[in-house]
A = this chain, B = another copy of it.
Amino acid sequence: MRNPASNMIRLTYLIESTGDPERLADKIASDQSTGTFVAVPGETEELKARVAARVTALRRLAPVKQSSFPSSEDGPFNRAEADIDFPLDAIGTDLSALMTIAIAGIYSIKGFTGIRVTGLELPGAFAAAHPGPQFGIAGSRRLTGVHGRPIIGTIVKPALGLRPHETAELVKDLIEADVDFIKDDEKLMSPAYSPLEERVKAIMPLILDREQRTGRKVMYAFGISHADPDIMMRNHDMVLKAGGNCAVININSIGFGGMAFLRKRSGLVLHAHRNGWDILTRHPGLGMDFSVYQQFWRLLGVDQFQINGIRVKYWEPDESFVASFKALQQPIFSGADCPLPVAGSGQWGGQAPDTYERTGKTQDLLYLCGGGIVSHPGGPAAGVRAVRQAWEAAVKGIALETYAVDHPELAASLKFFGDGKAS
């Protein structure tokens, strides 16, 4: 979110402690800027005016009985939300500096029984300093040729273990099923049994052949991530040269450095998988809100952001997914910095109505069904049609069961997946 003050970065922290949250808010402001634990000669008033962070608001919240970190003390545990303003001049626009000073350092401070970063408002200088998405929503629509409905995607399964020619056989069926988007499972990068180079060679001719026949080009996201940015760029170049247009990026596993390096040189749509993120947010009293985290990756250039969905197979509750979706829809500085939200995990047509209703009736999303398409009893082509039908019903406000009466693929889907078999 944009901070109206042009020279301040505002962070919001959820503080939990047996002591006084106000004192801890002051401690964050001091520790993360000028202060240390003993008076040092150079800490002058002039210096403080230049770089000191300041608590600008403190909202006391109801105490909780149970501490977030285990505590030897008894509750209740006091809570408050504190806004702290950091001068832009003290941090600059480098995202590693912002992360280090305003977020990473606070987790080590003593005296908290819980600490979570819940808000981040950036001044306009960050807009000019970072590339943001290269393709985003508009580019994803242009390259897939899908307009006026969600982009429907699927994932090659099993996640790991298929050899390139086996993957290609599955992909052939998925392409013929007229799906818009296909991706490698995020766990598949370039293992010995399926080197990326061989996978690209086996898959891309199928996609290009169909494009030539039908004019429709499936967007295929290849797993190009690697800890070494030089190798990742080689992977990127290999996909681009073969006519590919998308890549799965494990953003946490490559870090800001990998992402920044790639984005500057990229010709591919960058589809972000946030694996590892959950440990930073799953405990509600600890870590970080997605609304904070996603701003870093959007500024760095994520085009498509995978964020779970309604009734997923994972731990994340629906309201958390909805909040994440809305965070991605909100411009940081302008609509151009909004990536395409990707709903995935345990999805089939069944979640279309709730997804549509709860995300502000938008169809600007990539709706990703793995087993929900490939395991449809009528095969993947029927699976794709069923998902499209479910979205048509959702947008028209017709119950799936009603719409299924004259849409047999959806009917088969309701019968098969209605008991929770999708993934």
Q: Contact residues of A with B, CB < 8 Å?
A: 32-40, 42-43, 47-48, 50-52, 66, 68-70, 89-92, 94-97, 99-101, 103-105, 107-112, 157-162, 166, 170, 186-187, 189-193, 225-232, 250, 252-261, 264, 275-280, 282-287, 300, 313-316, 346, 370-371, 374-375, 421-423
Contact = CB atoms under 8 A, between A and B. Distances in A.
B104 A315 contact: no
24 contacts: A36-B158, A36-B423, A37-B346, A37-B422, A38-B422, A40-B158, A40-B371, A42-B161, A51-B193, A70-B284, A89-B192, A92-B189, A92-B192, A97-B187, A97-B253, A100-B186, A103-B276, A107-B278, A109-B314, A110-B314, A228-B261, A229-B257, A255-B256, A256-B258
Given A100-B186, A253-B256, 18 more contacts: A32-B187, A42-B157, A42-B162, A47-B162, A51-B191, A92-B189, A95-B227, A96-B227, A96-B250, A96-B258, A101-B160, A104-B275, A107-B276, A108-B315, A254-B255, A255-B255, A258-B258, A283-B286
B43 A158 contact: yes
Among A111, A276, A277, A370, residue most surrounded by chain B Cβ atoms (within 10 Å) = A276
A356 to B, nearest CB: 23
A250 B98 CA distance: 11
Contacts of A228: 94, 257, 260-261, 264
Contact of A191 (B89, B253, B280, B283): B89
Contact of A375 (B38, B252, B370): B38
A90 B190 CA distance: 9
In the complex, the count of this chain's copies comes to 2
Nearest to A189: B97
* Shortest beta-carbon contacts, A-B, top 3: A255-B255, A257-B258, A37-B423
A226 B261 CA distance: 11
A42 B280 CA distance: 34
A36 B370 contact: yes
B192 A282 contact: no
B283 A70 contact: yes
Contacts of A276: 99-100, 103-105, 107
B96 A254 contact: yes
Contacts of A300: 227
A18 to B, nearest CB: 13
Nearest to A348: B38
Given A108-B315, A112-B315, A159 B36 contact: yes
A287 B280 CA distance: 9
Contact of A229 (B70, B94, B261, B423): B261
Given A90-B191, A100-B275, A255-B254, A421 B37 contact: yes
A297 to B, nearest CB: 11
A394 to B, nearest CB: 23
Contacts of A97: 187, 189-191, 225-226, 253
Contacts of A170: 42
B69 A282 contact: yes
Given A229-B257, A252-B104, A286-B283, A315 B109 contact: yes
Contact of A253 (B50, B70, B100): B100
